[in-house]
A and B are shown apart, each in its own frame.
Chain A
Amino acid sequence: MDRLSLVFAALADPTRRAILARLADGEATVNQLAEPFPISLQAVSKHLKVLEQAGLITRGRDAQWRPCRLEAAPLRDISAWADQYRRFWDERYDRLDDYLRTLQTGPTAEEK
């Protein structure tokens, strides 16, 4: 699977999105991350693995204390991708803007 697909798959789950939102405030351990969720530590670990494989988080080296950290780069890819959709609509509405102006100032301006 390509990276964008991995990131999308990782973000498709609300628990994983909540974990990322939490990590935006700073590093946290698995225990700290698991606190707000009514699921097991194992389940949280599984989610962290998915996030890690997608490159969305990195984990510390210390075996005892392995804080998770948010990695923003893959999210920027997603943002850039979403921007293409925004551009599509922007272009269409810019065109509408021009056309409305033409209609209001008379037909002379219409020919390029």
Chain B
Amino acid sequence: MGETKTLDVKLQGDLEIVMTRSFDAPLALVWEVHTKAEHLKKWWARGHEADVTEFDFRPGGKWRIVEHGDSGEEWAFRGEVREIVPMELIVQTFEWEGLPGHISVERLVFEHKDGKTTLTGTSTFADKEDRDGMVASGMEGGANESYQALDAYLKTLA
């Protein structure tokens, strides 16, 4: 149909990144592929092979996914499920093991809109020290800073 799927990325306040994306699939299906390990391993790792080594989908339950790069690199991510509202909301923590201790909280909202399923993910980073630490630690962890900077950039162009 020539429709382009784009990820909308916005900054909110000092600590948050908001990402929105729509899918041509029923809400129940989009929910399902987020809540079962057998599905997550098929898409979560950007087309790379992935091991879902832990996935206890209930409040307090832990998850862990290892992404395998093409030349043997491994990136492991983990977190804890905090809140579940079936077909509506998942709140979980997110941590890249390469930068342990820098934990963000991800709020994933599922909505049925105009015949599509829209996902809105809000990542909240801990605090300024954490953020500055992330920047000091390298690029992978500096996403929040980079978006702040991008925000400043966009403002200067507005």
Residues of A within 8 A of B (CB): 5, 7-8, 11-12, 17, 20-21, 23-24, 70, 72, 75, 78-79, 81-82, 84-86, 88-101, 103-104
When the two chains form their complex, are residues B156 and A78 in contact, meaning their CB atoms are under 8 A apart? Answer: no
Q: Is B57 an interface residue (CB 8 A)?
A: no
Bound-state CA distance A49–B141 (Å) is 28
If over half of A's interface residues share one DSSP class (helix, strand or loop), that class is named, otherwise mixed; here it is helix
User: Can you report 23 residue pairs joining A to B where beta carbons are below 8 Å apart?
Assistant: A7-B149, A8-B142, A8-B149, A12-B132, A17-B152, A21-B156, A24-B155, A24-B158, A75-B149, A75-B156, A78-B150, A79-B150, A82-B143, A82-B146, A82-B149, A85-B147, A91-B47, A93-B7, A97-B5, A97-B23, A100-B23, A100-B24, A104-B29
Contact of A24 among B9, B132, B146, B157 (CB under 8 A): B157
Kindly identify, within residues 131 to 158 of chain B, every residue whose CB is under 8 Å from any CB belonging to chain A: 132, 135, 139, 142-143, 145-150, 152-153, 155-158
When the two chains form their complex, are residues A85 and B23 in contact, meaning their CB atoms are under 8 A apart? Answer: no
If over half of B's interface residues share one DSSP class (helix, strand or loop), that class is named, otherwise mixed; here it is helix
By beta carbon, the residue of chain A nearest B30 is: A100
Bound-state CA distance A94–B80 (Å) is 25
User: How many residue pairs, one in A and one in B, have C-beta atoms under 8 Å apart?
Assistant: 98
* Neighbouring B residues of A24 by C-beta, 8 Å: 155-158
Which range contains the number of B residues in contact with the other chain? Answer: 35 or more
